[in-house]
């Protein structure tokens, strides 16, 4: 019979990723996550580089300097409960084939059925993962507002595929049989360094103005694939430092905001307008291709200083790997109560427009006890083991 001791490496990888990083991540900062992923029309000038460069003009007369250091967000979606199923399979496998004497073990029919059931439970399992981090620095001014920002994002997909040949009874007495079931990990990410530059123009109508902005940025793109049969999967072979591919590219974000009346903002943003592709390292005879696609989002926000209401809609689907059907698209809703700039309560809701992600409820708080240094916390929850959290520190004077 074939060995399965090395499957423990799969569990290690899943544990490490599911605890640190979903493509359906909502919000590029803690405030945006708490407000359902909104930000295209409602983000402040510090977060302009994450949502809409035109918002670099979204500051008050009292804002002279802003620093976000850092904003960190993580999210994981394990709809199939794959992590716990692998943990259960390992327990069954270890009991039936004890280490060092597996060749001497004679499994009973009940053992064989239990092992098969545990293996089949892994079939077509999937975990989506996401982690983001960002830093921003801005000195607002009335001539041409600019926010320097850096943002890193990693998206990963872990999948299992159980081959029916592994379940045949004759394999139990065949020492030459090789396992066909596989575990595969795909990961892709970007690291951006850019500057959001915006200019505001008053229109010849009462209280109306338009802001336009753009963010030129240097973009580092990373891609990684690891696939092997579950009996030979070695965590020591999954060395991201040696196996991943990378390239450097130039990209661009564009944005515009329009205030038809005081306190109301309409916005449109385009991120990564130059499509990028990067082929992963070759693994298990075939590579994959990570995609950085343009994303178009429209938004509207009402802000009277104490209450903010916002809504964003993704105008196109986001794909992540060429050849995979997985794609996301959302409608985002959010609200914030600002208690005299000292504390904020936030809540939101994200509605998925595809079958590959779930609706999510979000909430968060902010503390700025002296109106300058602050901390923001956020969380998101959806069905089928869909969780996320975000933390950021800000300084505005």
Tens-digit pLDDT profile for residues 270-286: 999 999 999 998 876 78
Read off the pLDDT of residues 162-199 as tens digits, 9 standing for 90 and up. Answer: 989 888 888 777 777 777 888 788 889 999 999 999 99
Identify the bridge partners of residue 297 per DSSP, sorted by sequence position: 269, 314
Per residue in 327-374, pLDDT tens?
999 999 999 999 988 999 999 999 999 988 889 999 999 999 877 899
Q: What is the mean pLDDT of residues 371-380?
A: 92
Angle at 35 between CA 339 and CA 385, to 5 degrees: 130
How far from chain centre, in Å, is Cα 381?
14
Place 4 in a pLDDT band, splitting at 50, 70 and 90: very low
- The confidence score (pLDDT) of residue 108 equals 85
Q: What is the DSSP string of 193-245?
A: EEEEEEEEEE-SSTT-EEEEEEEEEEEEEEEEEEEEETTT--GGG--HHHH-E
**pLDDT of amino acid 392:** 96
Rg over alpha carbons for the chain, rounded to the nearest Å, is 24
CB of 189 closer than 8 Å to CB of 246: no
The pLDDT assigned to 356 comes to 83
Q: Considering its fold, how many domains does the chain have in total?
A: 1
- Tell me which of 25-29, 199-203, 230-234, 279-283 is least confident: 230-234
Structure tokens belonging to residue 300: 């509207």
CA distances to 185, 229, 281 from 290, in Å: 12, 22, 11
Residues 6+ apart with CB under 8 A from 48: 54, 55, 56, 58, 136, 138, 147, 149, 196, 198, 213, 215, 255
Whole-model pTM: value is 0.88
* pLDDT (tens digit per residue) in 96-145: 766 545 455 678 889 889 988 988 998 888 888 889 999 999 988 878 89
Domain limits at 219?
Answer: 5-396
The secondary structure of residue 286, as a DSSP letter, is B
CATH of the domain at 306: 2.40.160
Half-sphere exposure of 387 (CA within 13 A, CB side): 7
């Amino acid at each position: 019979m074939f060995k399965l001791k090395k499957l423990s490496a799969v569990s290690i990888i899943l544990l490490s990723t599911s605890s640190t990083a979903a493509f359906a991540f909502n919000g590029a900062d803690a405030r945006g996550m708490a407000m359902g992923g909104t930000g295209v029309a409602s983000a402040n000038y510090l977060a302009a580089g994450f949502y809409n460069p035109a918002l670099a003009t979204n500051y008050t007369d009292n804002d002279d300097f802003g620093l976000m250091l850092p904003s960190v967000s993580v999210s994981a979606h394990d709809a199939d409960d794959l992590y716990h199923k692998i943990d259960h399979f390992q327990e069954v496998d270890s009991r039936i084939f004890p280490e060092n004497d597996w060749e001497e073990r004679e499994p009973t029919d009940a053992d064989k059925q239990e092992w098969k059931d545990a293996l089949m439970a892994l079939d077509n399992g999937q975990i989506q993962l996401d982690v983001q981090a960002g830093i921003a620095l801005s000195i607002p001014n009335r001539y041409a507002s600019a926010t320097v920002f850096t943002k890193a994002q990693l998206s990963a997909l872990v999948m299992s595929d159980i081959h029916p040949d592994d379940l045949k009874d004759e394999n139990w007495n065949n020492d030459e049989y090789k396992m066909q079931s596989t575990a595969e990990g795909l990961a892709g990410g970007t690291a951006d360094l850019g500057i959001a530059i915006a200019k505001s123009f008053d229109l010849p109508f009462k209280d109306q103005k338009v802001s336009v902005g753009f963010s030129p940025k240097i973009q580092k793109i990373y891609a990684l694939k690891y696939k092997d049969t579950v009996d030979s999967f070695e965590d020591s072979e999954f060395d991201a430092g040696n196996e991943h591919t990378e390239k450097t590219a130039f990209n661009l974000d564009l944005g515009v905001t329009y205030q038809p009346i005081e306190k109301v903002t309409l916005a449109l943003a385009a991120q990564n307008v130059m499509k990028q592709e990067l082929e992963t390292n070759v693994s298990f005879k075939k590579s994959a291709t990570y995609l950085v696609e343009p994303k178009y989002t429209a938004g509207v926000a009402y802000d009277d200083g104490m209450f903010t209401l916002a809504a964003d809609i993704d105008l196109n689907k986001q794909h992540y790997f060429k050849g995979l059907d997985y794609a996301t698209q959302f409608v985002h809703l959010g609200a914030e109560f600002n208690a005299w700039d000292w504390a904020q309560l936030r809540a939101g809701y994200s509605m998925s427009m595809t079958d590959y992600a779930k609706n999510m409820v979000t909430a968060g708080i902010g503390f700025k006890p002296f109106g300058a240094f602050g901390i923001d916390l956020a969380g998101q929850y959806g069905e089928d083991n869909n969780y996320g959290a975000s933390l950021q520190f800000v300084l505005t004077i």
